[in-house]
Structure 1
Amino acid sequence: MTEQSVLSGDDDQALVELQGHLNLLFARARAQWKEGAAHIDPQLQPAGYKLLMFIVRVGGSNAHELAERFEMDKSVISRQVRMLEDLGLLESRPDELDGRQRVLTPTPEACTVLAELRGDHAEMLRSTLAELTPEEIRAAFKVLRLLAES
């Protein structure tokens, strides 16, 4: 163990407080997923909303990749994808490289509705972070990136 990895009592308390605030942040994210799903359709589950956000962000995916990335059962993925297709938010076509897989791509409507929601969320984030300097925002980003990649 290196000297840098030994935490003092103050550092331990800071980590406890950080964990508590991360729990609050995750709870807020879950609430936003629920609100976003309800905005699209009252029957859409937050899981479906998360899948749709990911597919829109990356441009396309398949059920296998979604199940791995989100650690969801394939039956959950299948139900959510079917609902998103029924709502006209996803299109499915055979994968050219593996005919057993289906490529899921967002419809223009999905991109539009998520862009509107992202705009609302971005405005709320700007308002919340208005008191921070650009350096503080970059530091926060670095911490969140490290946590996300760990």
Structure 2
Amino acid sequence: MRYPLILKGSAIGLLFTAFTLSANAQKIEEQQLKIKIGKIENSTQHLKNLEPVTFKYDVDKYKYLKLPVGEQYGFLASNVRPEFPEMVYEASKVYNEGKNASKVARYSEVNTESMIPLLVAAIKEQQAEIELLKKELNLLKEKSK
């Protein structure tokens, strides 16, 4: 019979802790957090220079890195760096090499999540161009009648 009381006490303690943490949490507005906000322009032109690829990691040679198995989709860092250097970063993984010894492997990675705003901007640019071409086409149709 003592256990239900302990569980109730624990639940109340958890709720109190959660309430206290949320009451002390600092709310930062996005406009305060993000500065020097600018529009993405000419994204279509930059994206045209990228070459999406499929690849497989050499999981046999680099077992210790525990890389994903199977076909992957992405970009080569060497192809992305000239257009978007801020999207390429140096990743590192620590791995064991023998008794009481560890090493660090470093390699270039592409932050593909950062590509999403560029893709949205490119779609918007293309859509604006499509709308302009539709208007021109309709004008040409009207003139030819």
**TM-score, structure 2 as length reference:** 0.29
**TM-score, structure 1 as length reference:** 0.28
Work out which structure has the larger RCO, using CA pairs closer than 8 Å and 6 or more positions apart in sequence: 2
Higher-Rg structure is 2
